[in-house]
Amino acid sequence: MSAGTASLCSTLLFLSVFMFVSSDQKIITADIGDSVILPCRVTNKITAVKWIKHYLGEKIVFLYQDNKVDSDNQNSFYKNRVDLQDRQMKDGDVSIILKDVTIYDNGTYHCHVKVAGTNSWKYISIIYLHVDPPGRSGGLGGSIGLIVGVVVAVMVVSLCLSFCFCTALRNIVTRYLQTRAQPRVI
């Protein structure tokens, strides 16, 4: 494999890892008892917002439709603990605030909206909420950033080392071929 090919392969691998890490999904960490914002933003005019937690079926965490909060369809575990961050939903902000976080709030949350003029729900984002157990902070959420940083740093160092190795190997081979091509003087 030539130096250019090796360098190209390393660059493509680095970019694919970077694009995977910077996807639309978010990881949020909270401590027990905290209030936490689960972000969601849309650009279209909406008529309804639904937040669902996926755990043994769909639990409706929050539902806003017909210009009011619909607590009748809300899972009882979330009653009086969830509200819109901005009741007017200015600038498409349909983020929710989850108050008094418990260990049971740990999990995957999906934000869905109904766009004006349609009657179907549209998926917007996924939020992974990690709740640290009592007496332990910085858990998974704090270490994920560190892990991603280390992986990216290793990729960059690998790319640099591959480039240096390939360049040095090319120079050695070129010098060897040049010495073999020159006539020997006896």
Q: Are 35 and 98 in contact (CB under 8 A)?
A: yes
Between 172 and 162, where is the model more confident?
172
- Put residue 149 in one of left, alpha, beta given phi > 0 → left and psi -120 to 50 → alpha: alpha
What is the per-residue pLDDT for 94? Answer: 93
What is the per-residue pLDDT across 15-62, written as a single tens digit (0 to 9) for each? 333 333 333 579 999 999 999 999 999 988 888 999 999 876 778 999
- Cα separation, 102 vs 134, in Å, equals 10
Contacts of 9 (CB under 8 A, 6+ apart): 1
Q: Where are the domains of the chain?
A: 3-20+143-181, 33-132
What is the per-residue pLDDT for 16? Answer: 37
What is the per-residue pLDDT for 35? Answer: 95
CATH assignment of 33-132, among 3.30.470.20, 3.40.30.10, 2.60.40.10, 3.30.930.10? 2.60.40.10
As a whole number of Å, the CA-based R_g of the chain is: 26
What is the per-residue pLDDT for 155? Answer: 66
Phi, psi torsion values for 154, nearest 5 degrees: -65, -40
Q: If you search the block for the tokens 């939020």, which residue do you land on?
A: 127
Q: Are 116 and 47 in contact (CB under 8 A)?
A: yes
Stretch 164-173: mean pLDDT: 75
Residue count (the chain):
186
Q: Is 109 exposed, middle or buried (0-12, 13-18, 19+ CB in 10 A)?
A: buried
Q: If you search the block for the tokens 């040049």, which residue do you land on?
A: 178
Q: Up-side HSE of residue 121: CA atoms within 13 Å toward CB?
A: 14
What is the per-residue pLDDT for 95? Answer: 95
For residue 123, the cross-strand partners are 112
What is the per-residue pLDDT across 108-157, written as a single tens digit (0 to 9) for each? 999 999 988 888 899 999 999 999 987 665 544 445 555 655 555 556 65
What is the per-residue pLDDT across 59-102, written as a single tens digit (0 to 9) for each? 899 999 988 999 999 999 999 999 999 888 888 899 999 999 99
